[in-house]
């Protein structure tokens, strides 16, 4: 596994459900536990995250915590228009 670049800037949460997708800016000190804990999180630079989500770089290029299979579901998701 390669050594991912440390994250830059703020953290964001992407919520995908039956109502669609929405983003939420997270406070600077966010714990990963509790009822609002994410099913999976990826930690990397903004550029690396974009490349990862478009399958241009592999998962070992970012730090993933949680169920990595959720990213496969996100990539396959096609929202209704």
Give the pLDDT score at 12. 81
More confident of the two residues 6 and 38: 38
d(CA 29, CA 53): 24
d(CA 33, CA 16): 19
The predicted-structure confidence for 11-63, as pLDDT tens digits, reads as follows 888 887 778 788 888 886 555 555 567 788 888 888 998 999 888 999 889 99
d(CA 61, CA 79): 27
Give the pLDDT score at 1. 44
Give the pLDDT score at 3. 52
Q: Where are the domains of the chain?
A: 12-29+37-76
């Amino acid at each position: 596994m390669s050594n991912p670049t440390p994250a830059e800037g703020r953290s964001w949460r992407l919520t995908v459900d039956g109502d669609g997708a929405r983003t939420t800016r997270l406070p600077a000190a966010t714990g990963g536990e509790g009822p609002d804990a994410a099913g999976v999180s990826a930690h990397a630079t903004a550029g690396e995250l974009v490349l990862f989500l478009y399958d241009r770089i592999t998962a070992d290029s970012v730090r993933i915590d949680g169920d990595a299979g959720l990213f496969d579901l996100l990539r396959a998701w096609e929202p209704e228009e």
